[in-house]
Structure 1
Amino acid sequence: MHKLQSDKHAIFINPDRTPAGGHIQIVIRRRNNSLQSIPDTHRLYDALQYPLIFWKGQDGYCINLKQRDPVTGTETNKNISSKDFYSFRLMIRRGQDNIILRCRELCQQFMVDMYVKIESERLRYLRFNQQKLRAEEYIHLRDAIASNADTAEIGNSVILPSSYIGSPRHMQEYIQDAMDIIWIIWTTLLFYYFYM
């Protein structure tokens, strides 16, 4: 525990104790003695999680960061994704020293944590944009409701599209592609065997 004398804040960072989700939790004790959890989408999360790398308290990724027009430099109405932000931050530039890349094992841990943050952002988007993805039109949900299944068992399911790598639909597409390749090879071999 480290107490800041000037503003009477106490910052607790305990990497050995993780919450139920398995992510690192950063909690700040406010002046009125209440505890406040800092979400991974907060702009100061990176500086609090990696004080050795961001010792000046540099801002990290925030959901509301806007893209800039490369020609004029003015802000656009599009947000920057966490993937683009951390790709930019880890980029090697000629003539500039990147402190993150010089931190060896800490750099590797930073990259893994930021990858988890990127995947969490993608999963949050899929969870809160099910209507845009037309998840209600998927067949297995209609089948579960039509077969008089208990609505408590259906729950609040989140449908992962096939574009999400590792999702059941993505793996099903791989299986179908593999079966198509086997079918093409098999028919080609049969053609050569009987007609050549």
Structure 2
Amino acid sequence: MWHQERSKHNTNKSRPTFGLCCKEGKVKLPPLKKPPAYLQQLLTSNEKGEPSNYRDNIRNYNPMFAFTSMGGQVDYEINKKGGAPYVFRLNGQNYHQIGTLLPKDNGDNALRPKFAQLYIYDTENEVRNRMQASTSKERKTQLDEGIVSGLLQMLDEHNELVKSFRMARDRYQESDLENVRLRLIGTRSSDGRQYNLPNASEIAALIIGEQTGENVERDIIVENKDRQLQRISELHPSFMSMQYPLLFPYGEDGFRPEIELEEKKDVEGKRKYVTMMEYYAYRIQQRLNQSVVLQTSGKLFLQFIVDAATCIEQWRLNWYRMHQGTLRTELYSGLQDAIDNGDTRTDQVGKRIILPSSYNGSPRNKQQYYQDAMAICRWAGYPDLFITFTCNPKWPEIQIMLDFLPGQKPEDRPDIVNRVFLIKLNELIEDIYKKKRFGKAIASKSTKFRPIPTYHHN
């Protein structure tokens, strides 16, 4: 952390505290284990400092071993314009889906296996099947069959999720059982602050015959075959491990709602558990003597960040949906809103989900910013200065941080670039308001990303 990122309310200058990474020590998660030697070798640049075939095509290798598919539409066109840094852009609603254990029957032959099915079906030709399953539009060079084979061997040895699916494969090979399901357990008995490497029996269980009446509300039941895809909840502890086995090679647990804060508050109304944003903010930090697989995975790291951001937004939207009464939405919605929206027939007026102005990007949020800006302009006049502040990836703060992990570029670490940009942006605002570099500011209207100071000069 940089000193400028310290918590503002901390008055002890000799011992600053930081909230961005761990909420001043209230969030404490188990450290990620060092990666297997083979994966560490693939993530390391060669002697000339050039990235390996694996790092160049990491977003092509990961889907070969992923258990789930990714929703939304990836924008491939954005990276075809000029020589700008790589950008991962996702359009539409994002979600993860998992299929059946075996591919569907299509007449006399089964369809080609995909995702989790590759761990069970036709494993004698598994490397070839995985190579054929890769149809990415971003491939720069030919994928290395030796790397695919090495990754497969590594996951078989270390990944608990892979071991669970191999267990289902062995049952199919040992007998002609058809009514077999795999239950991916969603509730962990261990404390999420201390253990993140559950064994195979804690992750999954085979169900032979009909499903029991046991409460499996958060579990995922992977059917045999000829069933539809099912969507996985972002609250399942294996949500990210199933989508990114090359980022979590041991099948580590991810976020779940029961992770407790270090300083639990028993007072009514105080939070006791880690939020999803706090969890991912903790995970993406670079720490000494801990695994840096996430930070060194280049384009796959960018995809992971976008995926995590969509999960956080979904978490927030679900909260607004479930707490409409708390937000007193009856003050926002009513007959007047219905008329304004053109719903003049009572049978067309249904239940609405109201997004308050506190939700960034909502209609009420934009309207509030606009009304505030107009009120200031009526009182103080139009702005004298409109300042555009951009980021330089060659800033020494960024370069020094990147040097901790050899072979990294600014586009590989948007978290570092954004943090340095925000620090310098805050310093610019301080120069304007407190140090009065352009004179005294009598009024201003600031948004989170676009501060717009308004000045009055004699």
Same fold per superposition (TM over 0.5) = yes
Against the structure 1 CA distance between its residues 14 and 94, is the aligned structure 2 distance closer, same or farther, given a 3 Å change threshold?
closer
Q: What is the CA-CA distance between 1:146 and the residue it aligns to?
A: 8.7
Deviations 1:120-176 (A, max 9, x none): 1000000111011111122x4242579994334222211111111011111111111
- 8 A contact 1:38–1:45 mirrored in 2: yes
SS of equivalent residue, structure 2 residue 381: helix
Moved more, 178-187 or 52-61: 178-187
Q: Which residue of 2 aligns with 1:158?
A: 353
TM-score relative to the length of structure 1: 0.74
1:89-146: per-residue Cα shift (whole Å, max 9, x none)? Answer: 01122333321111011001100110010011000000111011111122x4242579
- The aligned amino acid for 2:97 is I
For 2:71 and 2:235, locate their aligned partners in 1 and report how far apart those are by CA, in whole Å. 21
Tell me what 1:141 maps to.
334
**CA positional deviation for 1:180:** 1.6
Aligned to 1:5: none
The residue that corresponds to 1:73 in the other structure is none
Based on CA coordinates, which of the two structures has the bigger radius of gyration?
A: 2
Task: Tell me which residue corresponds to 1:14.
Answer: 69
Deviations 1:15-49 (A, max 9, x none): 4787xx63232215363426554212211010001
1:110 aligns with one of 304, 323, 337: 304
Q: Which has the higher contact order (CA 8 A, sep 6+)?
A: 2
* Comparing 35-44 and 48-57, the one that deviates more: 35-44
Distance in 2 (CA, whole Å) between partners of 1:12 and 1:110 is 15
Q: Distance in 2 between matches of 1:24 and 1:145?
A: 32
Deviation at 1:83, TM superposition (A): 0.2
Q: Distance in 2 between matches of 1:92 and 1:79?
A: 23
Aligned to 2:287: 93
Where do 5+ consecutive residues of structure 1 fail to align? 1-10, 71-75, 188-195
Where is the strand percentage greater, Structure 1 or Structure 2? 1
Q: Which has the higher helix share?
A: 1
What CA distance in whole angstroms lies between the structure 1 residues aligned with 2:261 and 2:250? 24
Correspondence for 1:178: 373
SS of aligned partner of 2:334 = helix
Query: How many residues align structurally?
Result: 171
* Counterpart residue identity of residue 61, structure 1: F
Aligned position for 2:252: 58
User: Per the alignment, in what secondary structure is the counterpart of residue 47 of structure 1?
Assistant: helix
* Paired position in structure 1 for 2:323: 129
Secondary structure of 1:62's counterpart equals coil
Q: Does 1:168 align with 2:168?
A: no
CA contact (8 A) 1:39 1:45 kept: yes
- In 1, Cα distance between the equivalents of 2:271 and 2:373? 42
In structure 2, do the counterparts of structure 1 residues 66 and 115 end up closer, same or farther at CA, with 3 Å as the change threshold? same
* Cα-to-partner distance string for 1:38-68 (whole Å, 9 max, x where unaligned): 2122110100011110110100111232222
Q: Secondary structure at the match of 1:26?
A: strand
For residues 145 and 17 of structure 1, the distance between their equivalents in structure 2, rounded to whole angstroms, comes to: 31
Are 2:94 and 1:23 equivalent residues in the alignment? yes
Structure 2 gap ranges (5+): 1-65, 74-91, 102-179, 182-223, 265-269, 383-457
Give the percent of matched residue pairs that are identical in Structure 1 and Structure 2. Answer: 31
